[in-house]
Amino acid sequence: MNIDLNCENLLNLMELQKTNKNIAQVDKVINNTKDFEKIAKHVVSLNDYLHHHHGFVSLSSSHNYLKIKCDNDKQDETISKEFHEKVRAWGEKYKVELERVDGKEVYYILGSL
């Protein structure tokens, strides 16, 4: 499956508005993420999968990368543990370089290994 994940498609995926600011940021993310085209379809499937496991893929407000975040309002340890296991397994399976933010349930997608 070959997915054309351009700026507007990526914004749709993350359910974000197509503003000039968001389009410019997504363009930076795509250009900053190593071999983005190799992992694009896997990002789509991860986002769909995580919606059922208290997580999502979105734009980072502080870095030009996509972030993977756990939406765990109740601070449930089981949810947190499952989230981290799923993200790590996804990264290993598709050979995606991830960077975990210390003390948070957030990862940055740095690119293909």
Judge whether 39 lies within some domain. Answer: yes
Q: How many domains does the chain have?
A: 1
Judge whether 66 lies within some domain. Answer: yes
Range of the domain at 94: 7-112
Judge whether 28 lies within some domain. Answer: yes
Residue range 36-57, pLDDT digits in tens? 989 988 998 898 889 888 899 9
Judge whether 93 lies within some domain. Answer: yes
Please report the pLDDT score of residue 1 as a whole number. Answer: 47
Torsion sign across C-alpha atoms 44, 79, 89, 67: positive
Judge whether 56 lies within some domain. Answer: yes
Judge whether 1 lies within some domain. Answer: no
pTM of the model: 0.89
Please report the pLDDT score of residue 2 as a whole number. Answer: 52
CA–CA separation, 12 vs 44, rounded Å? 11
Considering only CA atoms, which of 31, 40, 30 is closest in space to residue 4?
40
**pLDDT < 70 positions in the chain:** 1-4
Judge whether 2 lies within some domain. Answer: no
